[in-house]
Amino acid sequence: MSVPDLNLLITLDVLLAEGSVARAAQRLRLSPSAMSRTLARLRETTGDPLLVRAGRGLVPTPRALELRERVGPLVRDAETLLRPAERLDLLRLARTFTLRGSDGFVENFGPALVARLGAEAPGVRLHFKQKTHRDSTPLRDGTVDLDTGVVNAGTSPEIHTRALFRDRFIGVVRSDHPLATGPVSAARYAAGRHVLVSRQGLDRGLVDDALQAVGLERDIATIVDGFSAALALVRASDLVTAVPERYTHNLRSGLHSFTLPVATPDITVSMLWHPRMNSDPAHQWLRGCVREVCGE
């Protein structure tokens, strides 16, 4: 089946509005002969003469009168559709954004982010979603609008990223734990019983590599898949854990934190989004809010 030339709609709209081949040609900046050829194509496509001679002018057929009522709004809608997006009106914006983050993001950055969005765009709602894996599929299929986390080799190359902040791992114990007083040497640290945080369920991490480099090994008593669980265990026991300092700031309230006695690499927490959202004004505004809240 042949596909009709939709450009004919624009010409038809002007012809029916002007009722004259010459005036329509002038309005569309075409020659009268080119406009006559286009009218011939329209007649062939619609199966109707559309405009017929009446004295020295042209008058529309009943079919043309019917089309005139429909083609005008259709062309206006198409022009609106293809026009650049209007300036974002935050006070009228009504939209739900799904933001995915690892354990601790909501607790640490959620309150300030919700307050910021509520003050600027009262009709915007945030849906926070727990990040249980690093798969980019939720960004690709649109179930997640904005992701946060550490970019690595497994991140899809199509995904856009922007760094939010750098973070470092620190040790955490309850406030009256023996490690809460005095210098914490590598040997003294390794001698404790530890909680390892691993979403993949691995039995070692960056701290273990750092301890191994100085000939030490720690006793991992338990493995959990989130920072909240690790800190809850530490709060109620003699266990020790290592978590990102800034990412878990609010979660560590009332606990004792200390600099690790071994060197571990810093991490960069970034936001990630799919290319189709890159030029969306509302999404650009959301990214700016997240960047500013996390950068404070």
81-137 pLDDT, tens digit each: 676 666 889 999 999 999 999 888 999 999 999 999 999 999 999 999 988 777 888
Query: Is 164 inside a domain boundary?
Result: no
Please state whether 121 falls in left (phi above 0), alpha (psi between -120 and 50) or beta. Answer: beta
The per-residue pLDDT for range 252-269, each reduced to its tens digit, is: 999 999 999 999 999 999
Could you give the number of structural domains in the chain? 3
Query: Is 187 inside a domain boundary?
Result: yes
Tokens of 149: 């986390």
98's CB contacts (< 8 A; 6+ apart) are 127, 129, 143, 144, 145, 146
Residue-range definition of the domain harbouring residue 184: 169-265
Tokens of 196: 């390892």
The per-residue pLDDT for range 218-239, each reduced to its tens digit, is: 999 999 989 999 999 999 999 9
Tokens of 3: 């596909």
Q: Are residues 176 and 106 in the same domain?
A: no
Of 47, 82, 117, the last residue of a domain is 82
The per-residue pLDDT for range 156-167, each reduced to its tens digit, is: 888 999 999 999
What would the mean pLDDT of 55-63 be, rounded to a whole number? 84
pTM: 0.70
